[in-house]
């Protein structure tokens, strides 16, 4: 079986495409169930964030196309359009990609910490849906250990750098004095919580958090002395908002052009800085056409993000080195597991031949046959059965000039003789075999 990582991200697809491929929380259970039901898929996990949608699967050789076709069907997308912006990695490259994602090396904001939490959530969702087996489970656990090592041993996590931080940094270029700015934050997830914290640290004191459940909005706003409202109250709050930053999991826009036009009229066309971090988008793109609105999406934050990236590049180089060691370690453990399975199968085969020969010998003893004759027969029969299959494989390898296999034969099948084995015992062994050669045929 093959380890496969397939997806799209902010480098390969625009936000318009990413929002079509994103999985809402309510879709994830269905998606994991459908993936696991595909005959070619043994294990599956789904990571879906504002900047990426990725599927991690244990699959057969045809799995890549099967998963891509399924993704297109699930979201009702043209498969050719999806193929143009999708990427895939196999086996050790897939493991390396997952580790790079986990430590933020593949993020829009280099080293951003949120992705690790999102990855852990994706892992838990896959476990709850019984989508994980030994291969993916071990890979995720190994990845989390590597990510912890990177965070501990490098400076990649120092200084708050994230999409939330980038949004606040961009706002600071427009507002000279944050203490006079009024902010409306839509949503109450981890991203908005970070935005609220960054805004508060920057000097914003008038802060309103709107959310579907008001209790969650109060949790975010209370710690910063802000106000909590429900989503239906957004039109009134817009009239007083200089900064609007939105990040929800809504499948449809929350804030439309008409709503914003009415708010601007009440504000006497005072300018509004807006950032839509959500995928799918919370704010209709047409809002950006209004004269007094400065609307940005996650893709527009790239300039700020590039500045932050330079500060983290040295730590990123150290992280890459740790990841390479992590991939090597994972591959080593994977090979050992593969070898262990082969050893187990080989020993079971040998033990089955042993048991067969033993049972036949015991049956002859029960019939009263000569014990010495039975032992001689048992020794020949057992060795003959053990050597028959390897002997045939050597003949086939020689006939097909499989030199690699032939070179391995001495090491695998002809270990050095024990020190206690003498010429006398070897001759006796050959003599014991002789009487049986006339009445036994190779198995």
Report the greatest alpha carbon distance in the chain: 113
User: Cα(263)–Cα(257) distance, rounded to whole angstroms?
Assistant: 10
User: Cα(262)–Cα(242) distance, rounded to whole angstroms?
Assistant: 15
Cβ partners under 8 Å of residue 374, min gap 6 = 361, 364, 365
DSSP E strands in 49-181: the ranges are 52-59, 87-90
> Which residues, in sequence order, are bridge partners of residue 87?
7
Count Cα neighbours of 407 within 13 Å in the Cβ-side half-sphere.
4
Q: Does the annotation count 50 as an active-site position?
A: yes
Which residue in the list 50, 57, 85, 436 is annotated as catalytic?
Answer: 50
> If DSSP codes are grouped into helix, strand and coil, which group holds residue 247?
coil
Q: Give 387: exposed, middle or buried? Use CB within 10 Å, 0-12, 13-18, 19+.
A: middle
- Which candidate, 379, 388, 387, places its Cα nearest to that of 358? 379
User: Cα(97)–Cα(94) distance, rounded to whole angstroms?
Assistant: 5
The H or E element spanning position 124 is helix 114-128
Read off the tokens for 313: 């590049």
Catalytic sites, residue numbers: 50
């Amino acid at each position: 079986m093959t380890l496969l990582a397939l997806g799209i991200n902010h480098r390969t697809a625009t936000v318009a495409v990413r929002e079509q491929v994103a999985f809402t929380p309510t879709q994830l259970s269905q998606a994991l169930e459908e993936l696991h039901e595909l005959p070619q898929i043994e294990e599956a996990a789904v990571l879906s964030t504002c900047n990426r949608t990725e599927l991690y699967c244990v699959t057969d050789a045809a799995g890549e196309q099967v998963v891509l076709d399924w993704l297109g069907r699930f979201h009702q997308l043209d498969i050719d359009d999806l193929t143009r912006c999708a990427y895939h990695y196999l086996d050790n490259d897939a493991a390396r990609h997952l580790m790079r994602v986990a430590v933020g090396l593949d993020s829009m904001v280099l080293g951003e910490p949120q992705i690790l939490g999102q990855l852990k959530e994706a892992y838990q969702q896959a476990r709850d849906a019984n989508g994980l087996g030994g291969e993916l489970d071990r890979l995720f656990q190994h990845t989390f250990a590597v990510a912890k090592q990177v965070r501990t041993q490098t400076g990649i996590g120092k200084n708050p750098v994230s999409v939330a931080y980038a949004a606040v940094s961009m706002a600071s270029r427009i507002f000279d004095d944050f203490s006079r700015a009024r902010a409306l934050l839509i949503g109450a997830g981890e991203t908005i919580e970070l935005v609220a914290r960054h805004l508060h640290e920057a000097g914003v004191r008038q802060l309103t958090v709107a959310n579907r459940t008001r209790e969650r909005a109060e949790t975010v706003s209370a710690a910063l002395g802000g106000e909590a409202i429900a989503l239906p109250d957004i039109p009134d709050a817009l009239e007083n908002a200089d900064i609007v930053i939105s990040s929800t999991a809504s499948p449809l826009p929350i804030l439309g052009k008409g709503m914003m036009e009415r708010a601007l009229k009440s504000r006497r066309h005072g300018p509004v800085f807006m950032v839509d971090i959500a995928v799918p988008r919370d704010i209709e793109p047409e809002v950006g056409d209004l004269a007094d609105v400065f609307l940005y999406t996650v893709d527009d934050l790239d300039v700020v993000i590039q500045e932050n990236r330079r500060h983290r590049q040295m730590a990123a180089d150290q992280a890459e080195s740790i990841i390479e060691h992590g991939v090597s370690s994972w591959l080593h453990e994977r090979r050992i597991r593969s070898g262990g399975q082969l050893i187990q199968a080989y020993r079971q085969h040998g033990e089955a031949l042993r048991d067969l020969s033993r049972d036949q010998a015991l049956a002859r003893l029960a019939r009263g046959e000569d014990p010495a004759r039975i032992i001689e027969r048992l020794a020949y029969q057992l060795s003959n059965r053990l050597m028959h299959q390897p002997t045939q494989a050597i003949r086939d390898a020689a006939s097909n000039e499989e030199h690699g296999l032939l070179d391995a034969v001495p090491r695998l099948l002809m270990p050095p003789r024990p020190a206690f084995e003498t010429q006398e015992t070897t001759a006796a062994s050959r003599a014991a075999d002789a009487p049986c050669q006339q009445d036994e045929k190779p198995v």
